[in-house]
Amino acid sequence: MSDWTLGIIGGSGLYQLDALEDAHWVSVDTPWGAPSDDLLIGHIQGIKCVFLPRHGRGHFIGPSQLNFRANIDALKRQGVTDIVSISAVGSLTEKMAPGHFVAVDQFIDRTFAREKSYFGDGVVAHVSMAEPVCPRLRDKAAMAARNAGATVHDSGTYLAMEGPQFSSKAESNMYRGWGADVIGMTAMPEAKLAREAELPYALIGMVTDYDCWRDNETPVEVEAIIAQLGANAATARALVEYLVKALPEKREASPIDTVLDTALITDPSAYKPALIAKLDAVAGRVLGAD
């Protein structure tokens, strides 16, 4: 059995992975509340995969209501070693056309109504987000998307907005001026929490539309996004299969696996037991939580 356990977070349009063998849904409780849905656990060529539909099956949870902390914690509790997030995004640049895929490498976080950290009152930690995705996982995911037949951009900056409303034209043009390439509502704080949980993370964005910055074009509407999601979904499922099959037999250690070694700032004598207990999965390696 491989020492990889791949977590897959499926965004809009991706609610199931048909390629999983011996697949079964598992309910997971976390100290942070309930995750978006049960986890679908199975194997692809001997590699354990744990799938979570981010918005729940049927897409009944909005972006601001997602319990990001519970989602990442639940994956960690199931032994996940690495996470690939597959997300619908709007494009802020001409070259990233609807139907293209983007291997995101940077983020701008404009969300404001979400819990963004596992740490705080009781244990304080500051993880680096200078390089917010795992480069080896991103490269493998990008190659898998190509093998699945997608047009893939090897880098891109993702602007995370709060939502659930789409941007105004002024906002869309402002984000373009900031250097953002794609826009979405769910990558933050997901990527930050994955880093705090010492889980290498990569995000593949599936472009559904051009947002609303283009002149003389009808602004984005949900109907058009749903149509493009349907076209992207089969490619996304194939991407996961190609990615898993391309993973080397042995998982080499990543620096992200031990990022908390240099992130904790609170003196152990000041730890608060209540928070220590909640951090058993996320940070038990360094805190010795039971």
Residue with tokens 């939580």: 289
Task: Determine the pLDDT at residue 24.
Answer: 95
Task: Determine the pLDDT at residue 11.
Answer: 74
pTM for the structure as a whole: 0.96
3 tagged catalytic = no
Task: Determine the pLDDT at residue 289.
Answer: 59
- Catalytic residue (choose from 3, 211, 215, 267): 211
- Catalytic residue (choose from 29, 73, 209, 215): 209
Task: Determine the pLDDT at residue 253.
Answer: 95
211 tagged catalytic = yes
The CATH architecture one would assign to domain 5-287 is 3-Layer(aba) Sandwich (3.40)
Task: Determine the pLDDT at residue 219.
Answer: 72
Phi, psi of 202 (to 5 degrees): -135, 150
* Residues linked to residue 205 through DSSP beta bridges, in sequence order: 87, 102
Residue spans of the domains in the chain: they are 5-287
Whole-angstrom distance, CA of residue 290 vs CA of residue 277:
7
| DSSP 8-state secondary structure symbol assigned to residue 102 | E
Task: Determine the pLDDT at residue 26.
Answer: 97
pLDDT tens for the 290 residues of the chain, in order: 579 999 999 976 676 788 899 999 999 999 999 999 999 999 999 999 999 999 999 899 999 999 999 999 999 999 999 999 999 999 999 999 999 999 999 999 999 999 999 999 999 999 999 999 999 999 999 999 999 999 999 999 999 999 999 999 999 999 999 999 999 999 999 999 999 999 999 999 999 999 999 987 777 677 777 777 777 888 999 999 999 999 998 999 999 999 999 999 999 999 999 999 999 999 999 998 55
CA distances from 249 to 46, 133, 198, 252, 255 (A): 10, 22, 21, 9, 19
Question: Model confidence over 146-180: pLDDT tens digits?
Answer: 999 999 999 999 999 999 999 999 999 999 999 99
